[in-house]
A and B are shown apart, each in its own frame.
Chain A
Amino acid sequence: MAFKGQIVIDTERCKGCAVCLAACPVQCIALSKNVNGKGYNYTETVNDKCIGCASCAMVCPDGVISVYKIKC
């Protein structure tokens, strides 16, 4: 039984610290080339490997990541 995950990132509050990139076990997050209103390169999902483990949300200092998962 595997899980498929989805993360929702509040890009305006993200500061692009990249701590979530280091915590993600499946490397499905990356920094965007675009910047948000404060001038930070926010994070975004780059593939659909997410397993909904919430490691990124656990280490996010600003709590901008919400994690959802579904059985597949």
Chain B
Amino acid sequence: MNQDIEARKQELLNQGYTEVYTKTKVLTDAVMHYCPGCGHGTTHRLVAEVIDEMGIQDNVVGVSPVGCSVLAYNYFDIDFQEAAHGRAPALATAVKRLNPDTFVFTYQGDGDLAAIGTAETIHACNRGENITMIFVNNGIYGMTGGQMAPTTLIGMKSATTPYGRRVDINGYPLRITELISTLPGTYYVTRQSVQTPAAVRKAKAAIRKAFENQKLKKGLSFVEILSNCNSGWKMTPVQANKWMEDNMMPNYPVGDIKVDGKLVENVDVARLAVDHPLSVMQ
């Protein structure tokens, strides 16, 4: 089957077609275990493309978390370390300090980075380690069956909040990206999403910048990627992307928060959670 595809590609090139896009060789041919339409796959692809474009495939170490992306090392053709739950920034610190010229990135979800690993995240950011952190936020614990995460929206249904998240019981959604942007150790903090072609291109540019910043040795680069979790939200992938635009983006506004060590003007990092009615989920 695979040979048929390679033959078809070669045939098109022989007919005078030019290649616009094809999957990067930094990703392996393994079929990803993610649900159809999951933003993790897109984010994996973007990270791999950036590594390919920078030509650092033999000089980069990834650190994978516990969560949906625990098997990330199967999909990247680069060196990888698996960290204990939430401890990816601590492990990445060790890798970077022992190999200062190696590019190091962590790839974490919201349950890993914003719940179990909050201490490691905040201290790694505060120390200003020269690493890149990729944070995929889908507002839910996807792998374990859609339980409430710190990032779950007010009123959002999950397995453990079947009537919606309530502030009086469960508290407010944690905007960890705004939180760590106030720490002096961070150099570049941004929030992106991967639901449309335009958003994907912007997210790729942000990841590229986050990797380039490691050469400057000025601090930590942090990229949050908003993703859908269509299985956890119980929607089709296209509906989930729409729901994310309508409901997650008011709470988690997309854009740069801190660039070159300075907070971007007109970004209110201390604003209160938006309590607006959510579209119907199920």
Quick one: which of A57-72 are within 8 Å of B by CB?
57-70
A61 adjacent to B40 (CB under 8 Å): yes
B37 adjacent to A58 (CB under 8 Å): no
Given known A10-B5, A19-B37, A58-B200, contact A68–B20 (CB-CB < 8 A) = yes
Given known A17-B37, A61-B37, contact A12–B1 (CB-CB < 8 A) = yes
User: Which listed segment binds A: B57-65, B213-221, B233-241?
Assistant: B233-241
Asked if B13 CB lies within 8 Å of chain A CBs, one says yes
B20 adjacent to A5 (CB under 8 Å): yes
Asked if A23 CB lies within 8 Å of chain B CBs, one says yes
Q: Which residue of chain B is the closest to A37 with respect to CB atoms?
A: B1
Asked if B177 CB lies within 8 Å of chain A CBs, one says no
Among B20, B31, B40, B237, contact of A69 (Cβ-Cβ < 8 Å):
B20
Q: Hey, which chain B residues are within 8 Å of A68, CB to CB?
A: 9, 12-13, 17-20
Kindly state the separation between the CA atoms of A52 and B22 in the bound complex, as whole angstroms. 12
A8 adjacent to B12 (CB under 8 Å): yes
Q: Hey, which chain A residues are within 8 Å of B42, CB to CB?
A: 59-61
Q: Hey, which chain B residues are within 8 Å of A63, CB to CB?
A: 23-24, 27, 41, 45
Kindly state the separation between the CA atoms of A6 and B200 in the bound complex, as whole angstroms. 21
How extensive is the interface on chain A, given as a class? 20 to 34
Among B19, B23, B238, contact of A64 (Cβ-Cβ < 8 Å):
B23
Q: Which residue of chain A is the closest to B27 with respect to CB atoms?
A: A63
A70 adjacent to B41 (CB under 8 Å): no
Asked if B207 CB lies within 8 Å of chain A CBs, one says no
Quick one: CB contact mask for B10-37 with A, threshold 8 Å, 1 for yes? 0011011111111110010101101111
Asked if B97 CB lies within 8 Å of chain A CBs, one says no
Q: How many residues of B contact A (CB 8 A)?
A: 41
* Closest beta carbon of chain B to A48's beta carbon, Å: 14
A55 adjacent to B197 (CB under 8 Å): yes
* Closest beta carbon of chain B to A16's beta carbon, Å: 6
Asked if B39 CB lies within 8 Å of chain A CBs, one says yes
Among A11, A17, A19, A66, contact of B21 (Cβ-Cβ < 8 Å):
A66
Kindly state the separation between the CA atoms of A60 and B217 in the bound complex, as whole angstroms. 33
Asked if B226 CB lies within 8 Å of chain A CBs, one says no
Q: Hey, which chain A residues are within 8 Å of B34, CB to CB?
A: 61
Asked if A49 CB lies within 8 Å of chain B CBs, one says no
B9 adjacent to A66 (CB under 8 Å): yes
Q: Interface of B with A (CB < 8 Å)? A: 1-2, 5, 8-9, 12-13, 15-24, 27, 29, 31-32, 34-42, 45, 194-197, 200-201, 236-238, 241
- By Cβ-Cβ distance, the 3 closest A-B pairs, closest first, are A61-B41, A17-B37, A17-B36
Extra contacts, 17 of them, besides A8-B8, A66-B5 (Cβ < 8 A), are A6-B12, A8-B5, A8-B12, A10-B2, A12-B2, A15-B37, A17-B36, A19-B241, A22-B238, A40-B36, A59-B194, A59-B200, A61-B32, A61-B37, A61-B40, A63-B27, A66-B21
